[in-house]
Amino acid sequence: MTWKNTNAKCEKIKFIGDWLKEEYRFSDLCKRYGISRKTGYKLINRYEAEGEKALEEKSHTRHHHSNETEGRKIQRIIELKYRYPKWGPEKLHNWLMRNEAKAGWPAVSTMGDILKRNGLVKQRKYRRRVPAQGVPFLECDAPNVVWSADFKGQFRLGKNGAYCYPLTVSDNYSRFLLACVGLERPTLEATIRCFKKIFYEYGLPDAIKTDNGQPFASVGMGGLTRLSIWWIKLGIIPERIEAGCPEQNGRHERMHRTLKEATALPAKETFRNQQKCFDFFKQEYNYERSHQALEGKRPSEIYRKSIRSLPSKESEIYYPGYFEVRKVRTNGQIKWCGKKYFVSELLRSEPIGLEIIDEGRAILYFSNLKLGIIDARENKIIRP
**C-alpha 250 chain-centroid distance:** 9
185-203 in b/e form (b: 16+ CB < 10 A) is ebeeebbeebbeebbeebb
pLDDT category at 113 given cuts 50, 70, 90 is confident
Residue 249 has pLDDT above 50, yes or no: yes
Distance CA 313, CA 218 (A): 26
Q: What is the mean pLDDT of residues 341-351?
A: 93
| pLDDT tens readout for residues 260-284 | 888 888 889 999 999 999 999 999 9
Residue 69 has pLDDT above 60, yes or no: yes
Better-scored residue on pLDDT, 43 or 348: 348
Supply the pLDDT for residue 127: 54
- H helices of 100-154, in order, are 108-117
pTM across the whole model? 0.68
Among 32-41, 185-194, 225-234, which stretch is predicted with the lowest mean pLDDT?
A: 32-41
pLDDT category at 60 given cuts 50, 70, 90 is low
| pLDDT tens readout for residues 166-207 | 999 999 999 999 999 999 999 999 999 999 999 999 999 999
Q: What is the mean pLDDT of residues 330-349?
A: 92
Give the pairing type, strands 146-151 and 163-171. Answer: antiparallel
Q: What mean pLDDT, rounded, does the chain reach? A: 85
Residue 153 has pLDDT above 70, yes or no: yes
112-126 in b/e form (b: 16+ CB < 10 A) is bebbeeeeeeeeeee
Nearest to 168 by CA among 240, 109, 254: 254
Q: What is the mean pLDDT of residues 366-379?
A: 90
